[in-house]
Structure 1
Amino acid sequence: MKKRFYYGAMATGLVFTACSSEALNEPDNRPAEADQTLYVKMAIHGDDLNGTRAGDTNGAPDAEGDFEAGVGAESEIKNAYFVFYDAAGKQVGDIVQINLDKATTGVDGATVEKYYESVVPVSIRKGELDPAQVVCYINPISPAELQNPLSEIETVTREMAVSGSDNKLFPMSNSVYYTSTENGTKPQIAVPVATDQLFDTEKEALEATNKAIDVYVERYASKLKFTSKDAEAYETHTMLNGEEVPVSLSFVAEKWALNAESKKTYVVKSFRKESAEGIILPDDYTYNDLNTAINGTLSTADSWVWNNADYHRSYWGMSPAYFTATYPEVAGDVNDNSLQTYYTYNDLTKENSKVGYPTTDTDAKYFKETTVGLKALDSKNPAAAMPSVILVGKYKLSVNGTEVEGNPDFYTYLKGSDGKPLVYFAANDGTADSKVAGGESMLKRFINQVTVLYKRVNDGTEEAPKYRYVRLNPTVAADLAMMVGALKIDRPTEAVLKNPTTTEGYDEIKLPARQQTLQFNGINNTTGIYIANGNGYKEIVADDATPTGTQITLTAANRVLMQQVGFANFYNTGMAYFNIPVKHYGWYRAGNTQKEITEGETTKPNTTTIDWGKVRVGDFGMVRNHSYSINISSITGLATGIAGVDDPIVPPAETKDYYVAYKVRILKWAVVPVQNVDL
């Protein structure tokens, strides 16, 4: 076996550095005539986290202050593995594991946290070519599949971004980036090895000067700190006897978590292309193609600088969440095949839950890289595709100055005179009276609004009937009793949500579970009630019946009710959440027209609203080896209701306003600017 020594330097600034085969320094392409060992001098450089002033430099961090060194275990190295490849990307020799305890160490520049320097032996088998490029793995979760051909290594995944018994061991690998902005440039994954960096003896490798192979590495993990202030009371109204009555809603936060996190992460940063169907392709983006996807037609001055060859890093990459055909619109779309994790209220708050964190826990947490591209932005609900902090809790209420005991169910529906949603409550069983004193029930509000329910009156005789239809009147006790017995507040069934008038048969409405409406309480409770559907007054029959021209099925009748009154938002026992998409460097590009807002004569950072139609690739996401800080500086808005404790939390597609004040930093760890949010 041919054994060669390499003198290499590795830096743990936590950024991947990659080299394309086109940039290699003429390797020896002759197969080894016998087994032997070569030696290389390796220098491992660890990049710092990205920095805090990126907003001032068009989304590109500056070496002076925009990078942050790792703390404690973040920079601890247990072992290093090296995989060598020939110029064609075929593995050469066996994977090499070394212990860095005796390696030379030091600090290296403003963006590199520290470096390790050591000689590495590489065993070459007969018939193999000399090593031409190398990938380094620090603290790997598993060596499985790390010896795959270089063309496949971007698709190897892991289910964790940190490991160890206490989740304090940080896997790292080559920093992958573009070495040039010239047209056609591909990302560099493996660091090139020149022939004059190969030595026949360990002594020669140790004594060589300026021959170290510099490998820049970065952590798999993204780092996030979250802090929050208590919410201010949300002041709105309920209705009572036609008059507005003050209601105060106080949000009590319970826990926070990162929602829509990718379930897996790649062992090296990926720049693979995706098909129109969202399938991962075998080719990488060229620099120009990816820059077009990120910046579009923006001028150079307005564009985000997402790659920095001088710093041996890029500030973007593709997570497995990039490669999917669809993203969820509502909770029902989430299943085992979803590439991202969507938590439920129960996941976070049930007894002994290990998911999420109390709001008092402000220590840094670590997550898998999660990024999405144009397919997510073009989806019907881009908000659901973005990694986001969710803050869950329950509302306490007071009505007209009197505190309501416990956490009652409530609904919001339409808006009052102040432009805020009106609050309604659950009804007592068998009546339309509100369970909460001083307020109106949602059932009463809908009953007062519905105009399509009728009773049939016979002005003739039984032998010679003369029918007329009279609209049910909730001010008449008998009519109100009939309506209360027949109706309920509920989420429509899937059958009701299908519109049978489209040419393809059905056009199903995607409806969040929290949105509920007026529905019939079963076919047995509709006796004596007729519904006007624009084509006469119809008797209601069971769905398995064949309706005549004067009849309508229960599903069709429920659809008429739904279409007339619309939807109320349900807060089951006051459960609710705020959703805060994590801003990335792209948000701070000069060409982002919504990063600032103007109020009067004052222009300030936009911390409250997101227009998804203006969002670009890179505005949101969590990239490996970046450190983010989200600070909720104020909560004055209304959270989104939760209908079921086991419903996956999928942020609403129709909502543009996020009334949260928050700050985000991406940190040597690369530090992203502090993201201020007002909720």
Structure 2
Amino acid sequence: MKINKFLLGAFALSVGFASCSNEEPIKGDNGGATDGEKYVTVRINSVGDIGSRAATDNDDFEGPAEGSSEGNVTKENIRFYFFTADGMPFVMSQTGVNGTVNTNMVKPDALNVSNTNGDEKTSLEAVLVLGAPEKYVGNRPAIMFCVANATDEAAFEQFAKKRLDAIPDIEVNTPGEWSKFRMTSSTYKEGEGEGAKVIYYTDISDNVKDTKDAAMANPANIYLERLAAKMRVKGLGEYTVMEKNEDGTLATAQYKIRDENGTTITALKVNLLGWEPYMTANSCYAVKNIDKTWTNTSLFNGWNNADLHRCYWALAPGIVSPNNNTIPLYDNNKFKYGNYDGNKPTENIVYTYENTSYQPASVTDRSTKATAILVKAVVKLEGSDEGIDMVEWGSDYFTLEYFKAIVVEAYNADKDVTNQATAKDVVLKKNTGADARSNTWYATVKGDDFKRFSNISWWQNGITSYFVNVEHLGSKYGVVRNHIYDYTFNNVVGLGVPGDDPVNPQDPKPSYLAARVHVLNWHVVSNSTILQ
């Protein structure tokens, strides 16, 4: 099994506490375990690989993508942090440690790959000699916390020398590239009512033993979860535009489009071209934050699973300066993400950090900083391969050229014979004034505003957008770490929103995408949605 598959199985690390002093050198070699007086064995698990919570199908959990670095862990990118029983940093001696010590933080000297479980799972083992606990500042180590894949040494050090209760306050920024996947000890709620506690660490007080064999027989389990969430989409392609009836059923929409030959009643096609993330977080808490007062009633049923050492909701610090907060509808370099293909699991995916601070009014509400999926599409006439250049004005649809002819006719009627215009003189300009309606245009003739024709919706060469706020579990919107948001679009209602203003339409028409969404764990959230 390859190293980048470590987190598919259990990790076991044997950590030894040896009795030593400056006068007594450590016995043993640098490449293996050193015998000592005290030992603790730590087995590290990925919370995505220890079973599924109740759900509607059997695909609730998914391992790291083949060919990705989602599961990489090496001795260079893992640190262990030790605390006393009352949550103070357990300050270690610099002498006699088979690893690099920074106060209460230890970087192991070696991690050895082996298969010690008697099955296909691969273990990751290391033996650390940490000196005599009784001689250290403070009490014996009682609590352990773990971080893997921080961006650099400074990012690891921000967890050192802190009280345990200060760890949840640490924030980290979104990495510039997703080559390493930061992981920390998982968070969940233990108990209810006055006795409820938030757990984001491992109690090792009963795991420190006098012999290595005794410690190996009684391992302390650490559970890691990635800070990142993953988004992916399927179902891009061509659809017939539908409309929703009062009873909720869908039917093919019929549009009356006026051109130089009169009025044509026709169905329209829409081709979903690609997608982009919208309003992704630029930071998150390094450790998942939750509220110990949360219940199934206040959130949603099954939000917490202490048996699996994880939970399915979180607090987020909120977004000050969001990433991807524009709608680059007319930028041909954008909307580069296509359909996800399970045979190419590292392509057409987006990683993002936690964002749960915003609850939009609906799946298509563009007014908040909730993380969303933005889809670019082109509207076409039935039987045509080209996008239709079309406008809507006064609730009527026109081809662009015929609409320009109407504008010119009205303009010329107001002018004398020496100041006549042609359709080539008509230009549509974006409404940008303080009182302008969003995503609308107005007509100019020979450079002059012609206010009679304003509040125009314009599908330039058929280009439009559909917007989907990412749905989590329990009818909540948001993105939670270590989840996959797996969207499958299966229908389209309406013509979307043409224009690049990142706001709600002021006179919205029903317009949405039907999709099925799965949230994976990596826990999978699945949703069925209609693009609108």
Q: Give the conservation status (yes or no) of the 8 Å contact 1:50–1:67.
A: no
Task: Determine the C-alpha separation between the residues in 2 that align with 1:634 and 1:107.
Answer: 48
3-state DSSP class of the match of 2:407? helix
Match of 2:462 in 1: 574
The sequence identity of aligned pairs, in percent, is 19
Match of 2:212 in 1: 205
Q: How many residues align?
A: 466
Which of 198, 217, 230 aligns to 1:223? It is 230
Match of 2:293 in 1: 287
- Kindly provide the CA deviation profile for residues 201-245 of structure 1, in whole angstroms up to 9, marking residues without a partner as x: xxx134335532111111222233321242224452223589533
How big is the shift at 1:174? 0.8
Q: Give the conservation status (yes or no) of the 8 Å contact 1:231–1:252.
A: yes
Q: Give the conservation status (yes or no) of the 8 Å contact 2:289–2:315.
A: yes
Match of 1:78 in 2: 74
TM-score, reference length from structure 2: 0.71
- Kindly provide the CA deviation profile for residues 323-368 of structure 1, in whole angstroms up to 9, marking residues without a partner as x: 25xxxxxxxxxxxx52342254379632xx6x74234766442412
Q: Does 1 or 2 have the higher relative contact order (CA < 8 Å, sep 6+)?
A: 1
Q: How does 1:492-531 map to 2 (within 5 A)?
A: 492-494=431-433, 496-497=434-435, 511-512=437-438, 514-517=439-442
Which of 357, 360, 367 aligns to 1:373? It is 357
How big is the shift at 1:183? 4.1
- Kindly provide the CA deviation profile for residues 40-60 of structure 1, in whole angstroms up to 9, marking residues without a partner as x: 21111112269999664xxxx
Kindly provide the amino acid, as one letter, of the partner of residue 68 in structure 1.
Answer: E
Structure 1 pair 103/654, CA: closer, same or farther in 2 (3 Å)? farther
Structure 1 pair 246/65, CA: closer, same or farther in 2 (3 Å)? closer
Task: Determine the C-alpha separation between the residues in 2 that align with 1:491 and 1:632.
Answer: 31
* Greater C-alpha Rg: 1
Task: Determine the C-alpha separation between the residues in 1 that align with 2:234 and 2:325.
Answer: 21
Is residue 139 of structure 1 aligned with residue 149 of structure 2?
yes
3-state DSSP class of the match of 1:208? helix
Kindly provide the amino acid, as one letter, of the partner of residue 197 in structure 1.
Answer: N
Is residue 154 of structure 1 aligned with residue 168 of structure 2?
yes
Is residue 263 of structure 1 aligned with residue 268 of structure 2?
no
Q: Give the conservation status (yes or no) of the 8 Å contact 1:86–1:131.
A: yes
Structure 1 pair 287/397, CA: closer, same or farther in 2 (3 Å)? same
Structure 1 pair 199/633, CA: closer, same or farther in 2 (3 Å)? same
- Kindly provide the CA deviation profile for residues 548-573 of structure 1, in whole angstroms up to 9, marking residues without a partner as x: xxxxxxxxxx9xx5xx9772323334
Structure 1 pair 442/146, CA: closer, same or farther in 2 (3 Å)? farther
How big is the shift at 1:170? 3.0
Which of 198, 220, 224 aligns to 1:187? It is 198
Is residue 386 of structure 1 aligned with residue 400 of structure 2?
no
How big is the shift at 1:622? 2.3
3-state DSSP class of the match of 1:586? coil
- Kindly provide the CA deviation profile for residues 56-93 of structure 1, in whole angstroms up to 9, marking residues without a partner as x: 4xxxx9xx763333343433422321112234433223
Kindly provide the amino acid, as one letter, of the partner of residue 485 in structure 2.
Answer: Y
Where does the alignment leave 5 or more consecutive residues of structure 1 unmatched?
1-10, 16-31, 272-284, 295-302, 325-336, 416-421, 427-434, 449-472, 498-508, 527-557, 588-618
Match of 1:630 in 2: 487
Q: Give the conservation status (yes or no) of the 8 Å contact 2:381–2:387.
A: yes
3-state DSSP class of the match of 1:578? strand
Q: How does 1:455-604 map to 2 (within 5 A)?
A: 478=416, 489-494=428-433, 496-497=434-435, 511-512=437-438, 514-517=439-442, 567-587=455-475
Match of 1:69 in 2: 63
How big is the shift at 1:101? 2.2
Task: Determine the C-alpha separation between the residues in 1 that align with 2:51 and 2:207.
Answer: 34
Q: Give the conservation status (yes or no) of the 8 Å contact 2:40–2:209.
A: yes
Which of 126, 130, 146 aligns to 2:140? It is 130
How big is the shift at 1:142? 2.7
Is residue 338 of structure 1 aligned with residue 338 of structure 2?
no
Q: Give the conservation status (yes or no) of the 8 Å contact 1:411–1:425.
A: yes
Q: Give the conservation status (yes or no) of the 8 Å contact 2:236–2:272.
A: no
- Kindly provide the CA deviation profile for residues 414-462 of structure 1, in whole angstroms up to 9, marking residues without a partner as x: 44xxxxxx32354xxxxxxxx3xxx3339739x97xxxxxxxxxxxxxx
Match of 2:520 in 1: 667
How big is the shift at 1:171? 2.7
Cα RMSD, aligned residues only: 4.6
Is residue 237 of structure 1 aligned with residue 256 of structure 2?
yes
Task: Determine the C-alpha separation between the residues in 2 that align with 1:377 and 1:266.
Answer: 25
Structure 1 pair 519/132, CA: closer, same or farther in 2 (3 Å)? farther
Task: Determine the C-alpha separation between the residues in 2 that align with 1:360 and 1:311.
Answer: 29
Structure 1 pair 118/342, CA: closer, same or farther in 2 (3 Å)? same
Task: Determine the C-alpha separation between the residues in 2 that align with 1:84 and 1:347.
Answer: 53
Structure 1 pair 12/217, CA: closer, same or farther in 2 (3 Å)? farther
Q: Give the conservation status (yes or no) of the 8 Å contact 1:40–1:197.
A: yes
Structure 1 pair 340/653, CA: closer, same or farther in 2 (3 Å)? farther
Structure 1 pair 81/107, CA: closer, same or farther in 2 (3 Å)? farther
Structure 1 pair 287/565, CA: closer, same or farther in 2 (3 Å)? farther
How big is the shift at 1:267? 2.4
Match of 2:246 in 1: none
How big is the shift at 1:641? 0.7
Q: Give the conservation status (yes or no) of the 8 Å contact 1:85–1:91.
A: yes
Task: Determine the C-alpha separation between the residues in 1 that align with 2:49 and 2:488.
Answer: 19
Kindly provide the amino acid, as one letter, of the partner of residue 146 in structure 1.
Answer: F
Task: Determine the C-alpha separation between the residues in 1 that align with 2:65 and 2:44.
Answer: 18
Which stretch has the larger CA shift, 174-183 or 123-132?
123-132
3-state DSSP class of the match of 2:373? strand
Structure 1 pair 383/309, CA: closer, same or farther in 2 (3 Å)? farther
Task: Determine the C-alpha separation between the residues in 1 that align with 2:477 and 2:87.
Answer: 33
Is residue 620 of structure 1 aligned with residue 473 of structure 2?
no
How big is the shift at 1:126? 4.4
How big is the shift at 1:480? 12
- Kindly provide the CA deviation profile for residues 455-495 of structure 1, in whole angstroms up to 9, marking residues without a partner as x: xxxxxxxxxxxxxxxxxx9756649968999997544444x
Where does the alignment leave 5 or more consecutive residues of structure 2 unmatched?
1-5, 11-18, 25-35, 92-101, 242-253
Which of 394, 398, 417 aligns to 1:424? It is 398
Is residue 42 of structure 1 aligned with residue 42 of structure 2?
yes
Task: Determine the C-alpha separation between the residues in 1 that align with 2:42 and 2:440.
Answer: 59
3-state DSSP class of the match of 2:193? coil
Is residue 100 of structure 1 aligned with residue 111 of structure 2?
yes
Q: Give the conservation status (yes or no) of the 8 Å contact 1:220–1:267.
A: yes
Q: Give the conservation status (yes or no) of the 8 Å contact 2:172–2:284.
A: yes
How big is the shift at 1:259? 1.8
How big is the shift at 1:516? 2.7
Kindly provide the amino acid, as one letter, of the partner of residue 397 in structure 2.
Answer: V
How big is the shift at 1:308? 0.9
- Kindly provide the CA deviation profile for residues 108-163 of structure 1, in whole angstroms up to 9, marking residues without a partner as x: 99xxx876565444466843343232211223333421324433333434444796
Kindly provide the amino acid, as one letter, of the partner of residue 179 in structure 1.
Answer: E
How big is the shift at 1:176? 0.6
Structure 1 pair 356/114, CA: closer, same or farther in 2 (3 Å)? farther
- Kindly provide the CA deviation profile for residues 586-607 of structure 1, in whole angstroms up to 9, marking residues without a partner as x: 13xxxxxxxxxxxxxxxxxxxx
